[in-house]
Structure 1
């Protein structure tokens, strides 16, 4: 994680306080966020706080007027949830699904192509889902949007995963799916 304390930053530059604020804001949303998206939002929030300081507004003064952390999460997430125009081609979607399948397999999960997503076998600690509680997980990247997952049954609730539509993003999505399959996230479909 990069911080403003770094001498020569290679990635996003943000304060620890900004990261904690956007992480807290993200928990109140009906989506899951990969670390790189939270870092992007924290960088924006750090810059907004710095702009306020130039105008005599201390960082702590923002909390009583508006939720800059909430706004930072929302505006950054929108960049990842909407595909660039024109929409992704079938080949691009299939390539991203391939990256996801490889990343899931490297993490020790069983993943196979589905229609139209990637089907991930459930684990012993995966929350119950589907008619009998034994549904696998369907992970998708949309041609005109972002990443999402659901239990692989008709009518299942869908959970967005805010992540870049890239090979690195697919790896971060795989980490979230692994945590869900292992039961580390709990039943995100009920708790949000």
Structure 2
């Protein structure tokens, strides 16, 4: 296995594990920020290493279970559920403020909405909403994680699995930027 970590302080995962969790995440109805994929890759690397200690080679897992799928799912649960007790209104507003700042740093127009953050669409943003011209609504839930949709009644919602932190808001902003620029296509079509 190839360790991508240069020091013991950095993330310790293999390139194979990262590729496996990235592939597993691609089959989910959510988008994942890099730090969450790295977290899942670390878990998968550790699981493979434990298996090897018990005489189970890395490749032998494939025929019995989707270990990469399990790693993505169990790690994602840590990010898409709020800690108990739920986030306060002040915490949600603070996270929205971090998101607005990060979006503006990326050159996007963002403003507080009710109850999320409204991001102006760009010329390459996929069509959405009743007339195809809806802006983007990004939210952090008091009892859950991040999500975005077109700012229109009845619009489909896409989860973004990311930490509920300033760093997580910056990573969410990167995904929203990619969507607004048309780099992700219309993720709401399935």
Shared fold per TM-score greater than 0.5: yes
For structure 1, the residue ranges without an aligned partner over 5 or more in a row are none
Once the two structures are superposed, the pairs formed by residues 81-120 of structure 1 within 5 Å of their partners are: 81-120=80-119
Q: Aligned pair 1:78/2:80, yes or no?
A: no
Q: Unaligned regions of 5+ residues in structure 2, if any?
A: none
Instruction: State the alpha-carbon separation in 2 of the partners of residues 160 and 94 from structure 1.
Output: 19
**Secondary structure at the residue paired with 1:104?**
helix
The answer on whether the counterparts of 2:4 and 2:15 sit within 8 Å (CA) in structure 1 is no
Partner of residue 152, structure 1: 151
In structure 2, how many angstroms separate the alpha carbons of the residues matched to 1:5 and 1:92? 34
Deviations 1:115-148 (A, max 9, x none): 0000000000000000000000000000000000
- Structure 2 match to 1:25: 24
1:18-70 superposed Cα distances (whole Å, 9 cap, x missing partner): 00000000000000000000000000000000000000000000011100000
CA deviation digits over 1:87-127, x for unaligned, max 9? 00000000000000000000000000000000000000000
Q: Work out the CA distance in 1 between the residues paired with 2:8 and 2:150.
A: 40
| Residues 1:7 and 1:121: Cα distance change in structure 2 (over 3 Å) | closer
Q: Please tell me the root mean square deviation across aligned C-alpha atoms, in Å.
A: 0.9
Query: For residue 51 of structure 1, what is the aligned residue in structure 2?
Result: 50
Alignment length, in residue pairs? Answer: 189
- Post-superposition offset of 1:7: 4.2
Distance (Å, rounded) in 1 between the aligned partners of 2:146 and 2:138:
7
Matched, 1:36 2:35: yes
Partner of 1:184: 183
Give the TM-score, by structure 1 length.
0.97
Over 3 Å counting, the alpha-carbon distance change for 1:123 and 1:5 in structure 2 is closer
